[in-house]
Amino acid sequence: MAKIVFKKDKRNQLLLLPSDIGSLIPDNHLVRVVDEVINQIRLSPLLETYKGGGASSYSPRLMLKILIYSYIDKIYTNRRIEKALRENINLMWISGMSTPDYTTIHNFRSKRMKEAVEDVFGSIVEILIDGGYVKAENLFVDGTKIEANANRYSHIWRKNVERYESMTKERVKKLLSHIEQLQKEEDAEYGIHNLEELEGHITAEKVEKLVDDINQKLSNGTKSKRATSEVKKLKNEYVPKLKKYEQQKDMLQQRNSCSKTDRDATFFRMKEDHLGMSQLKPAYNVQIATEDQFILSYGIYQKAADTSVFIPFFDKVKTQLKALPANIIADAGYGSEENYKFITDQKLGNYVKYNTFDIEKTHDHKKKTFLSDRFKYDSKEDQFKCPAGQILDLIGIKETKSENGYKSKRKVYKSRCCNKCQFRDFCCRGKNDRTIEINRKLDRYRDKVRQNLESEKGIKLRLQRGVDVESVFGQIKHNNQFRRFYSRGLKNVNTEWGIISIAHNIKKMAS
C-alpha cells in the first residue's frame, strides 16, 4: 500500500511580513464594487448629522461601506455585523481592519442614516443614470407587504376600542346617576347635577375631575357608604379604562388597526404565514419603482390598498428621481379614476391596468350577454336598454369619496320591470330589478388605457413588468431572505428598506 501523505498544518507558522488581506480578494469581487461606488457618492447629507467636537468618530464613508456590504451578504443585525467584522475577510478588508462595536453600528444606522438615507439613495440613483445603467424612462411600480418586527397577536382594532369605550361611558353615566340618586337629599352639597354636561362628551379627564369634586364634597358632608364605594369604583376601574381607550385611539390615528409592540405597523392580510396559511399580521406596505430591475424609488406606507398610496408614492418618486419618467406601468391594483386623473395631469404615458382588463379577454366574459357594457345608451332620453329590450331610467347620482379625499360620481339606472323577463335569472341578482352604475369619466380613462395596453409598445411593457419589478421582490425576499423588518417604527423601517435598496442596486451593478 502506498504511503499516505498529508499537507502540513501551518496554523502556528510565523510570517516574515504581515499578509495583505486585499491580495486574498479577487479583483472582480462584489466587495470591491461596493468600495468603488461608495467612494463616488456625496456625503454632505451624512456629514450634516455630525455635531463635531469630542472624541474622534469612524468615517461615515467607512460605516456606510460596512453597512451596505453587510446587507448584501445577508447580515442584517448589529450584533452579527459586529461579529462579522472580526471573522469575514471581505468586511475586514473594506473596513480596513476597523472593528466598530454594536453601539457604534446601531447609532450610525438609527441616527445618522435615518436622517440621510434618502439622500444617499438618491446619490446611488444619480450614479445609475449617469453611468447609463438606467434611463429612468419607463417606471414599473408594484408593492408588497413585509411583516413588521412586532408580536403577531398584539393587535388593537378600532371597532373593538370604540365599542368598549362606548360601553364604559354608558356604565359611567349609570354609576354617576346612581350616586346622584343616593345623595339626592344632599344634592346641593355634592353637586352631581352637572351630569347632563357629560352627555356625549365623556372623557377620562372630565370623569377624573368630577370624581375628585365628589370625593371632596363627600368628605365635607354626611358620607354615604354606597356612594363612597361607587365613587371609588369609578376612580379605580372606569377612569383607567377610559384613559387606555383614549391612548389606543391616539395610536390608531386614522387606521383601523395597529400593533402594541410597533405602533406604526398595521395589520394586513398576508399571503402566507409561518403555518402556510393566510392570516392578519402586523406589516408595512412597501412600494418600489424599478427599471431594468434597479430600484429607482421606494416608499413605506401604513395602508393596505395600493390604490390609495399611489399618489403619495409618486410624489416621492419625483423627489427621489428629480425628474419625471415618460411612462408608468403597473398592475390592476392601481387602476382607479383618481390615479388615472393624476397620471393624465402629470402628462405621463398611462400603462396602468384596470381591474377587469385581463377578465375582458377571457372566453367566459365574452359569452356573458347581460353585462352593463352590453347595454345600449340613448343619449337623448338618458336611458339604457338591456339586450332583452327592458328600459333602465336614471334614478339618481351616487357620490363616493376615496381615502385620499377624491370625489367621484356615478349615475345609477334602474330597470322599469324585470319580473316577467325570461332572462331575469341571467341578469338580476336578488329580488330587485336590475340596476347599473355608470361612471363616464372612468370609462373614458379606461378606453384610453385599453388602447395603450393593447398597442405594440403596451404589450412589450406589460410583459416586461412581470420580469422587472416582481423579480426585485423575489431577489430581496427569497434570495436575500429578507421577509421581516428588524427595526420598529415607520422612520426606522424606512431607513432599513433604504439600505436594502442601496445594497440591491450595487449588487445589480456588479452583476
Global confidence as pTM? 0.87
Whether 239 is covered by a domain: the verdict is yes
Are residues 171 and 242 located together in one domain of the fold?
yes
Please report whether residue 426 resides in a domain.
yes
Beta carbons of 273 and 281 less than 8 angstroms apart: yes
Do both 184 and 98 map to the same domain? no
Query: pLDDT value at position 232?
Result: 78
32: Cβ contacts below 8 Å, ≥ 6 apart? 25
Short-list 324, 304, 307, 328, CA closest to 315: 324
Residue 245 sits in the same domain as residue 178: yes
Report how far residue 473's alpha carbon sits from residue 72's, in angstroms, rounded to the nearest whole number: 15
pLDDT digits over 458-495, tens only? 999 999 998 999 999 999 999 999 999 999 999 999 99
Residues 97 and 184 in one domain: no
* Domain edge (last residue) among 212, 241, 258: 258
How far apart (Å, rounded) are the C-alpha atoms in residues 436 and 466?
A: 34
- Residues 351 and 445: their CA atoms lie apart, in Å, by 11
Tell me how far apart the alpha carbons of residues 17 and 331 are, in angstroms, rounded to a whole number: 60
pLDDT at 17: 63
In this structure, are 237 and 165 located in the same domain? yes
Q: Note whether 48 and 103 are same-domain residues.
A: yes
In a domain, 111, yes or no: yes
Please indicate, yes or no, if residue 293 is contained in any of the structural domains.
no
Q: Which of 99, 122, 145 is the last residue in one of the domains?
A: 122
Are the beta carbons of 426 and 370 closer than 8 angstroms?
A: yes
Claim to verify: residue 102 and residue 160 sit in the same structural domain: no
Element (H, E) at 409: strand 407-415
pLDDT in tens, the chain (511 residues): 688 877 777 777 776 666 788 888 888 899 999 999 999 998 888 888 888 777 888 899 999 999 999 999 999 999 999 999 999 999 999 998 999 999 999 999 998 999 899 999 999 999 999 999 999 899 999 999 999 999 988 889 999 988 988 888 888 887 777 777 766 655 545 444 455 555 556 777 777 777 777 766 666 554 556 667 777 777 788 788 888 888 888 889 888 999 999 999 999 988 765 566 678 899 999 999 999 999 999 999 999 899 999 999 999 998 888 788 999 999 999 999 999 999 999 999 999 999 888 888 888 888 888 888 888 888 888 888 888 888 888 889 999 888 888 999 999 998 888 887 878 877 887 778 888 888 999 999 999 999 999 999 999 999 999 899 999 999 999 999 999 999 999 999 999 999 999 999 999 998 8
Residue type, 118: E
Closest residue by Cα to residue 271 from 281, 263, 262, 261: 281
Domain containing 164: what range? Answer: 156-258
> Which DSSP symbol is given to 142?
E
CB-neighbour burial class of residue 211 (10 A; exposed 0-12, middle 13-18, buried 19+): buried
Q: 441: closest CA among 297, 309, 341, 292?
A: 341
Biggest CA–CA distance in the chain, Å, is 115
Q: What is the pLDDT of residue 392?
A: 86
Q: Are residues 117 and 210 in the same domain?
A: no
DSSP state of 484: B
First-to-last CA distance in the chain?
A: 49
Grid cell, residue 1, equals 500500500
Asked if residue 199 belongs to a domain, the reply is yes
Quote the CA–CA distance of 69 and 61 in Å, as a whole number. 12
Residue 223: per-residue pLDDT: 54
Which element (helix H / strand E) includes 181? Answer: helix 158-182
Please indicate, yes or no, if residue 135 is contained in any of the structural domains: no
In a domain, 403, yes or no: yes
**Kind and range of the H or E run holding 190:** helix 187-190
On whether both 37 and 115 belong to a single domain, the answer is: yes
Q: Mapping DSSP to helix (H, G, I), strand (E, B) and coil, where does residue 124 land?
A: helix
CA angle 439, 330, 373 (to 5 degrees): 30
Angle at 81 between CA 79 and CA 82, to 5 degrees: 65
pLDDT tens track for 141-194: 999 999 999 998 888 999 998 898 888 888 888 777 777 776 665 554 544 445
- Between helix 337-345 and helix 306-321 the angle, nearest 10°, is 20
Q: Are residues 91 and 170 in the same domain?
A: no
Which letter does DSSP use for residue 216 in this model? H
Which residues face 385 on adjacent strands? Answer: 376, 391
Q: Domains in the chain: how many in total?
A: 3
In a domain, 285, yes or no: no
CA angle 493, 498, 504 (to 5 degrees): 125
Say whether both 118 and 160 belong to one domain: no
- The candidate with the shortest Cα–Cα distance to 146, out of 494, 505, 477, 498, is 477
State the sign of the Cα–Cα–Cα–Cα dihedral 352, 356, 359, 360.
negative
> Which residue, 258, 283, 305, sits at the end of a domain?
258
> Are 34 and 90 found together in one domain?
yes
